[in-house]
Amino acid sequence: MILSLTESIIALGRLVFGVFTALGRMVIFIITTLSHIFRPPFYPKEFASAVMNVGYLSLPVVGLTAIFTGAALALQIYSGGSRFNAPEVVPQIVAIGMVRELGPVLAGLMISARVTSSITAELATMKVTEQIDALITLSTVPLKYLVLPRVLAGFLVGPILVGVADSVGILGGFLVATLTLGFNSSTYILDTINFLTSADIISSMAKGAAFGFIATLMGCYYGLNSGRGALGVGMATKSSVQAAAVLILAANFLLTAVFFTA
Amino acid sequence: MITFDNIHKSFGTNNVLCGVDLIVDRGQSMVIIGGSGTGKSVLIKTVLGLVTPDNGKIFVNNQDMINAKRDNFLSKFGMLFQGGALFDSMPVWQNVAFRLQRGHLKLPKTEARQIAIEKLQRVGLAPDVADRLPAELSGGMQKRVSLARAIAADPEIIFFDEPTTGLDPIMARVINDLIRKIVVEMGATAITITHDMTSVATIADKVAMLHDGVIKWCGTLDDMAHSGNPHVDQFIHGRAKGPIKTLR
């Protein structure tokens, strides 16, 4: 009994130590990466390439996810609203639901599924095949050359992707509402515009920046810290997507609390 | 000149380097031999800062590498990695001219490309290879491109990590001859890591044997055949019996 209690305390201690070690490494990784922002050399081509990969190439998946979610949301609100004789709230609830919550979260999760995984797999493969070592011997700092352009791109492009998700999601609701639920199109648009506030849109953009940052950062961190071989690359990719998704949802809760309960 | 002074390195409980002392003179081609997993690659990676030694010092031209400015220090080196380590997202010429397009050695794009093509020709590759991606090349061609990248900025010191691993005997011979030719023509200091005795015979001025984390023997290529060292004798003749355990 005493032995098992001791073992449990040791295991708990190891767990706590492991969590704090990982957190410490992550914080050092972030600080070191960001410390390169204003120090030359700069890599505009790598930044442009990252913007293309994180932003432009994510548009289809973000747009498709948002339009179907917006459409389903309109149907659900119409059905649910009818129970207490308020089916006319569809435009307002679709707008607020997409802009405040679903647009940012869906865009964030889609970025983590598409971008985090690809960044991790790419960097982890580069590590396994000694390309990261080769970069260092060629006087290039991997954090500056590989990480900073991707993280900056995620931070700057995230709000744009969220804006697209918000707009396309509202469009999905609009199409369902006007084509199948009998809503008047101009009334629907006016209701949407009049109901949304600038705080809704600002919070949405802020979430986009945070989620883009988290998704790309997790991809880079796990990629550069991957284990060896195909197993190491696979584990790193899985862990990065899991970490990005959980952190995005946690950050969403925190940002919602900051913006809407203050 | 490169001086390794009492270098120690462990990974967890695995003591890889246990006090390596070695001097490589300027312009000399040193080949380090030893079995797989004896720390040969770790040793050269300590010079480049890719692995930090737990103890000991490394001097390059009598300058402690810890005090050296990274960018200037690394610009003295070229390295041929075991697997080539070519950047698969960029064409061959950009791989070769990577250093010439960044940092304090930066050149205009056309000039960097021209130098890359010259270096590719020097390692026996045609100019039309320049615009291909590394994945489109055979293993031997990738090794040559990696060799071209290692010499692109005319480094003072070149490291070759297992240059013939994975190549057929003919291509291995071609790469060995190329390395020897380049080292002689450039007058560079070279350290080659290998367990291929054909490479040793072609490339080496001096040979050092790394085993159990220390240099067991060091001498000229001519002395190696009658070194009298049981580790060296067993290794160069490929005997299963001897002081080097076959089960590691």
- Closest in B78, B85, B103 to A133, CB measured: B85
What is the interface pTM, i.e. ipTM, of the complex?
Answer: 0.89
Instruction: Give the orientation angle of helix A59-82 with respect to helix A103-111, to 10 degrees.
Output: 150
Place of tokens 């993280």: A151
A235 and A131 inside one domain: yes
Q: What is the pLDDT of residues A160-196, one digit of tens each?
A: 999 999 999 999 999 999 999 999 999 999 999 999 9
Residue B240 lies in a domain: yes
Q: Which residue of B has its CA nearest to A49?
A: B89
pLDDT at residue A245 greater than cutoff 90: yes
Helix (H, G, I), strand (E, B) or coil at B52: coil
Question: Please, which residues bridge with residue B22 across strands?
Answer: B4
What does the pLDDT read at residue A212?
A: 97
Write out the H or E segment, with its range, that includes residue B149: helix B139-151
Q: Which residue of A has its CA nearest to B86?
A: A131
Pairing mode, if any, of strands B29-33 and B206-211? parallel
Which CATH number covers residue B52? 3.40.50.300
Chain A residues with beta carbon closer than 8 angstroms to that of B74: 136-139
Cα B186 to Cα A105: distance, rounded to the nearest angstrom:
58
Q: What is the pLDDT of residues A57-76, one digit of tens each?
A: 999 999 999 999 999 999 99
pLDDT at residue B103 greater than cutoff 90: no
Hey, what are B3's tokens? 């001086």
Chain A residues with beta carbon closer than 8 angstroms to that of B85: 129-131, 133-134
Q: What is the mean pLDDT of residues B65-84?
A: 85
B222 CA to chain A: closest CA distance, Å?
A: 33
Q: What is the mean pLDDT of chain B?
A: 90
Q: What is the pLDDT of residues A125-160, one digit of tens each?
A: 999 999 999 999 998 999 999 999 999 999 999 999
Q: Are B3 and B23 in contact (CB under 8 A)?
A: yes
Cα A62 to Cα A68: distance, rounded to the nearest angstrom:
10
> How far is residue A86 from each of residues A80, A188, A191, A195, B34, measured CA to CA in Å?
8, 15, 14, 16, 81
Residue A137 lies in a domain: yes
What does the pLDDT read at residue A198?
A: 94
Chain A 139-198, CB below 8 Å of chain B: which residues? 139-140
A144 and A82 inside one domain: yes
Residue B210 dihedral angles phi and psi, to the nearest 5°? -100, 125
Using CB atoms within 10 A of its CB, is residue B127 exposed (0-12), middle (13-18) or buried (19+)? middle
- CB count within 10 Å of CB A237 equals 23
B1 CA to chain A: closest CA distance, Å?
A: 19
Q: What is the DSSP letter of B244?
A: S
Chain A residues with beta carbon closer than 8 angstroms to that of B46: none
Chain B residues with beta carbon closer than 8 angstroms to that of A140: 98, 102-103
Cα B27 to Cα B157: distance, rounded to the nearest angstrom:
8
Residue A39 lies in a domain: no
For A23, the domain range is: 1-34
Q: Which of B134, B130, B102, B111 is nearest to A44 (CA)?
A: B102
| A137–chain B Cβ distance below 8 A for any pair | yes
A9 and A111 inside one domain: no
Total domains, chain B: 1
Residues in B lying within 8 Å of A, measured between beta carbons: 45, 48-50, 70-71, 74-75, 77-79, 81-83, 85-88, 98-99, 102-103, 105, 149
pLDDT band at A1 (very low <50, low <70, confident <90, very high): low
Q: What is the pLDDT of residues B164-194, one digit of tens each?
A: 888 888 888 888 998 898 889 889 999 999 9
Residue A18 lies in a domain: yes
Residue A90 lies in a domain: yes
Chain A residues with beta carbon closer than 8 angstroms to that of B102: 41, 138-140
A93 and A177 inside one domain: yes
A119 CA to chain B: closest CA distance, Å?
A: 13
Is the Cβ pair B85, A139 closer than 8 Å?
A: no
Chain B residues with beta carbon closer than 8 angstroms to that of A126: 87
What does the pLDDT read at residue A133?
A: 95
What does the pLDDT read at residue A210?
A: 97
Hey, what are B23's tokens? 């001097």
Torsion of Cα atoms, B164 then B167 then B168 then B169, to 10° = 0
pLDDT at residue B117 greater than cutoff 90: yes
A240 and A143 inside one domain: yes
What does the pLDDT read at residue B227?
A: 86
SS3 content of chain B, % helix, strand, coil (to 5): 40, 25, 35
pLDDT at residue B248 greater than cutoff 80: no
A14 and A62 inside one domain: no
Q: What is the pLDDT of residues B211-229, one digit of tens each?
A: 999 999 999 999 998 888 8
Sheet holding B2-11, edge to edge: B14-24, B2-11, B55-60, B63-64
Total domains, chain A: 2
The verdict on whether omega for the bond into residue B127 sits within 30 degrees of 0, i.e. cis, is no
**Interface contacts A/B by beta carbons within 8 Å:** 50
Is the Cβ pair B77, A136 closer than 8 Å?
A: no
Q: Please give, one letter per residue, the 3-state secondary structure of chain A.
A: CHHHHHHHHHHHHHHHHHHHHHHHHHHHHHHHHHCCCCCCCCCHHHHHHHHHHHCHHHHHHHHHHHHHHHHHHHHHHHHHHHCCCCHHHHHHHHHHHHHHHHHHHHHHHHHHHHHHHHHHHHHHHHHHCCHHHHHHHCCCCHHHHHHHHHHHHHHHHHHHHHHHHHHHHHHHHHHHHHHHCCCCHHHHHHHHHHHCCHHHHHHHHHHHHHHHHHHHHHHHHHHHCCCCHHHHHHHHHHHHHHHHHHHHHHHHHHHHHHHHCC
Percent of chain B beyond pLDDT 90? Answer: 62
Cα B124 to Cα B145: distance, rounded to the nearest angstrom:
10
For B66, the domain range is: 1-76+157-163+189-248
Straight-line distance from the first to the last Cα atom of chain B, in angstroms, rounded to the nearest whole number:
33
Q: What is the mean pLDDT of residues A98-119?
A: 96
Percent of chain B beyond pLDDT 70? Answer: 99
Hey, what are A46's tokens? 């790598």
Chain A residues with beta carbon closer than 8 angstroms to that of B143: none
What does the pLDDT read at residue A93?
A: 94
pLDDT band at A262 (very low <50, low <70, confident <90, very high): low
Residue B107 lies in a domain: no
Residue B60 lies in a domain: yes
pLDDT band at A3 (very low <50, low <70, confident <90, very high): low
Q: Are B76 and B159 in contact (CB under 8 A)?
A: no
A50 CA to chain B: closest CA distance, Å?
A: 13
Residue A127 lies in a domain: yes
